[in-house]
Amino acid sequence: MKRSGFADLPLHGGQCPPWLFERMKRLGGHIIEAIVALFGPEEFLRRIADPIFFQSLGCLLGFDWHSSGLTTTLCGALKEAVRGREKDLGLYICGGKGGTSRKTPEEILRYSERDALPFGEALVNYSRISAKVDNTAIQDGYTLYHHAFFFTTSGKWSVVQQGMNPVTCFARRYHWLGERVEDFTCEPHSGICGIQEAEVLNLVARESKACQEGIVAMLGEGFTVVRRNVQDALRYLVLPKRHRIQEKDFDLSRIEKTLAFLCERRPSSFLEVLKAQGVGQKTLRALALTVEIVLGTPPSYTDPVSFSFAHGGKDGTPFPVDRKTYDTTIGFLAQVVERMRIGVSEKNKVYEQLKLLSGEEGKQWMLWRH
């Protein structure tokens, strides 16, 4: 994964006013249609999986440039923008914030059945694995509360999900692009946005491969051996202060039930361990630290975490949203999209015109060219 930098995403109060959300939805819809018309729906997945493009798009649509709410509001606006037009665009957006995120599998299957798409179950699997990785295999202090799943009629997919640290009130956003995921358990992200943390257990880092293999091998030795190793490691483990784990930090009876289940299943890969029911942060952390002590194969503790205004921001930073300019932008792009519908020959003409735009107007449109 390319680490190109990081961004602070603090929690801001308030809600997106209806007049702004309606404009975000309309302009977002035009931008989606323009990208799809020029480059295809798969290109939109690539761009939305890019943390910088995502942030720029949120800024272009007028939301807070560094607020955690940019993620949830932008995804919500884009989802509403394509609603009812999914099949025509070849693009589907599922999930959202809070309880809506848990309905993602249901939405994926509903769209798949409605439009006769043969890969619904596979997409549900990708949705669940990406959430499990970011909530369990990467232990950075952020709990997921938003999960947006994007996919096309060709079966390509991407994920934008966000977690919140309740202590610091900062958010972290995780981006996935399916076509770049070769291994869900080894550097699977296209990018992660957030502040750098000092203490992170990163079990999907490339440096954690030996630890992953050690976990799988140890589980294959049977429950009695695993239980003894884990109990001894948790009881006597002494590491640098930031990694110190004590027996009182764990509910050993619950972990033992999960370990017994894993040993009975004898998983053949770390992905199987991760996907297993009941495997959460504490179980994985206990296994990782035990393997570090018993086999000498430590996991990675490196944090995997890796903007521009056209219309202003909701909170008035750097200036209040200019509604007149916003509506002019919507009208202009609506004309562009309408011309694209005329035929393929017009697309190149429109694209060349957009390239020639200069000054402030040009800066706006080149954001979606990226």
For residue 6, the model assigns a pLDDT of 41
Report pLDDT digits (tens) over 298-313: 999 988 876 344 555 5
If DSSP codes are grouped into helix, strand and coil, which group holds residue 14?
A: coil
- Our CA dihedral for 293, 297, 299, 302, rounded to 10 degrees, sits at 110
pTM of the model: 0.79
User: Domain-by-domain residue ranges, the chain?
Assistant: 1-198+304-370, 206-294
Q: Mean pLDDT score of the chain, rounded to an integer?
A: 83
If DSSP codes are grouped into helix, strand and coil, which group holds residue 290?
A: helix
Residues 6+ apart with CB under 8 A from 324: none
Q: Which residues in 149-182 are b (16+ Cβ under 10 Å) and which e?
A: bbbbbebbbbbbbbbbbeeeebbbbbbbbbeebe
Each residue's pLDDT, cut to its tens digit, for the chain (370 residues) gives: 444 344 445 555 557 788 888 999 999 999 999 999 999 999 999 999 998 889 888 888 865 555 567 889 999 999 999 999 999 999 999 999 999 999 999 999 999 999 999 999 999 999 999 999 999 999 999 999 999 999 999 999 999 999 998 888 888 999 999 999 999 999 999 998 877 787 899 999 999 999 999 999 999 999 999 988 888 877 654 444 444 455 455 566 778 889 999 999 999 999 999 999 999 998 999 899 899 988 889 999 988 876 344 555 555 555 577 777 778 877 877 877 777 676 655 666 666 666 655 444 444 444 443 3
Residues 6+ apart with CB under 8 A from 111: 86, 92, 94, 117, 120
**CA–CA dist 255, 152 (Å, integer):** 39
**CA–CA dist 346, 352 (Å, integer):** 10
DSSP 117-172: -TTHHHHHHHHHHHHHIIIIIEESS-EEEEEEEEEETTS-EEEEEEEEETTTTEEE
Using an 8 Å Cβ cutoff, are 82 and 75 in contact? Answer: no
**Between vectors from CA 56 to CA 52 and to CA 62, what angle results, nearest 5°?**
150
